[in-house]
């Protein structure tokens, strides 16, 4: 136990500042998410035929450097708890139904981010008997993150931007 505590203390806090997004400081946005939602932005990730590269970079977002949960954003196990569906892969036909069911289970307004070149346009796999050629062929997509695989700061920025969209969508819904 002593070893563990010493190690935690010696490592210290190594989290880095959040990336800037187009219109506002990310840290400020985090407070606004909190103000609107009263809780963290919840993401359900669905691998729709990815090579696992994008997933590895999503794991990285949870490491102490990027500290995604520190920004008030977390990955959840059920799409019913999610505000945002983060989809990787060119949408293999074998995953299509599971992806659609996950999408149906996400409450409104359903935000969808297509992550990586495959999710964006099918990538190197394109459209074939086995792949649909990108998430937008199957679902309405709010934001696309290119890269093979995209670097963690790029993913973080896209999630923050999508969250901003979420805030605006919620504000509009409240106004009407």
Using the contact rule CB under 8 A, the part of the chain among 21-29, 33-41, 49-57, 163-171 near other proteins is 49-57
Q: Does 13 bind other proteins (CB under 8 A)?
A: no
Instruction: Give 1-22 as a 3 state SS string.
Output: CHHHHHHHHHHCCCCCCCCCCC
Residue of 166, 173, 150 lying closest to 30 (CA atoms): 166
The CB-side HSE value for 99 (13 A sphere, CA atoms) comes to 31
CB of 138 to other proteins, least distance (A): 11
| Burial class of residue 96 (count of CB atoms within 10 Å of its CB; 0-12, 13-18, 19+) | middle
Among 36, 55, 146, 167, binds other proteins (CB under 8 A): 55
Supply the minimum distance, in Å, between the C-beta of residue 119 and other proteins: 12
In the complex, the smallest distance separating the C-beta of residue 25 from other proteins, rounded to whole angstroms, is 24
Pick between residue 31 and residue 94 the one whose CB is nearest to other proteins. 94
- Cβ distance 93 to 132 under 8 Å? yes
Q: Say whether residue 62 binds other proteins (CB under 8 A).
A: yes
Region of 32-40, 89-97, 106-114, 162-170 interacting with other proteins (CB under 8 A) = 89-97
Distances (CA, A) of 59 to 28, 44, 100, 155: 24, 13, 24, 11
Task: List binders of other proteins among 121-150 (CB under 8 A).
Answer: 123-132, 148-149
Closer residue to other proteins (CB): 51 or 84: 51
Residue 71 within binding range of other proteins, rule CB under 8 A: no
Residues 6+ apart with CB under 8 A from 123: 90, 116, 117, 148
Closest alpha carbon to 161 in 42, 19, 17, 16: 19
Site for other proteins in 15-34 (CB under 8 A): none
Q: Which residues bind other proteins (CB under 8 A)?
A: 3-4, 7-8, 11, 14, 45-60, 62-65, 75, 77, 89-90, 92-98, 102, 123-132, 148-149, 151
């Amino acid at each position: 136990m002593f070893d563990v505590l010493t190690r935690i203390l010696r490592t210290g806090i190594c989290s880095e500042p959040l990336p800037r997004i187009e219109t506002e400081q990310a840290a400020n946005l985090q407070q606004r998410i909190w103000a609107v939602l009263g809780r963290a932005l919840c993401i359900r990730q669905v691998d729709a035929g990815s090579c696992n590269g994008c997933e590895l970079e999503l794991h990285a977002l949870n490491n102490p450097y990027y500290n995604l949960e520190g920004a008030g954003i977390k990955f959840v196990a059920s799409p019913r708890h999610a505000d945002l569906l983060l989809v990787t892969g060119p949408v293999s036909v074998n995953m299509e139904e599971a992806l659609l069911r996950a999408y149906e289970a996400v409450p409104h307004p359903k935000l969808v981010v297509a992550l990586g070149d495959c999710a964006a346009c099918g990538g190197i796999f394109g459209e074939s008997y086995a792949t649909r050629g990108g998430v937008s062929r199957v679902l309405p997509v709010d934001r696309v993150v290119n890269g093979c695989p995209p670097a963690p700061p790029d993913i973080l920025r896209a999630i923050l931007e999508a969250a901003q969209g979420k805030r605006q969508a919620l504000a509009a819904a409240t106004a009407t």
